[in-house]
Structure 1
């Protein structure tokens, strides 16, 4: 190989920059959603941007539905997912999970007088809430995302929903559902509460380590809290 070719190859190697593919979900306010302008934002989206900045990585988003997130990570379709995943043994068996970045609980939303299990419950496909309802033989009404559940409740096409706490707060504040008089109850079951983490490609432990370091840093310097305050009216722990 000539000196010129060798220099060219070395130059290309040094110039190559890895692009991280990051799975994101649309239509899940306040965690990830499209603004009126069409721009993607939300708590998890902005956390993802700060993590990428902290790792000095260029990140490109890949739109997924929740029921595709674990498969996409396991298959290497994305490098990590900016999606709150409740830590479960089933998920740990298939993908890597970062250190927890907050704790999650679940909320039952329904028309007054309807208790859990007494009506078809709207759930997001692939969610812990959907798995819980199925395991307890509740009749379910599956949707692709939380925004679709909001619309179904406001239009009277759904009578109840089982949601993570942050999405439940967004539903409570949604002007379309304010007039519905929906009541809410925290479901006191360990299966619906626990640590939330980000999923990582199971073959990339080095990325897992970098993400864990980045999570520590954005919590230490206040960026996590500022994003929390911007999108969610209570402190995530």
Structure 2
């Protein structure tokens, strides 16, 4: 099993760089943030669920090369730019990396070294193929726990009002150019890389597990979506 990292839009299998995983790391289950409020006259507490905390994935790597120091220098140059990690035995999914921490490197002999890398990640593991566009016209099916989709709309004509609903929740865009991109994660709406958020009425979409009803109301010739599904 190998560790694959993404850095600067490039995927690197660390086993090809002389870095091997000592053993598969334990993947922690994310913890829910909760606010507990004591209420007079009420047994127990009033609990308000908020969101999930980040997780830490600790990977111990071994270096088995003739020139350990050269491998270490090369590794450090790329590891701190890591934005995603995945494991070769589960390569259809990946974790989004927020921060990287490296422990002291043990180098007992010239041809062997080991160290621990701590990846601070989003609480979700993401399904790779849901980051590809799929054309839909009726229903959107989410299999993961949560989806903050990226939507691409091709209007049937320019300069006209675009509108659609998901589960009855409507978004309307006063369009002047096409296509239109709606990034629900970053809360951006843009066309030709220019923000058109000022032309938007409605809220961004967060979709949970299950089927969601899509209704294309006006001026849409093609509706594409990256569901970008996260699993716990």
* TM-score between the two structures when normalised by the length of structure 1: 0.24
Structure number with greater CO (CA < 8 Å, separation at least 6) is 1
Decide which structure has the larger Cα Rg and report it.
Answer: 2
* TM-score between the two structures when normalised by the length of structure 2: 0.24
* Structure with higher helix content: 1
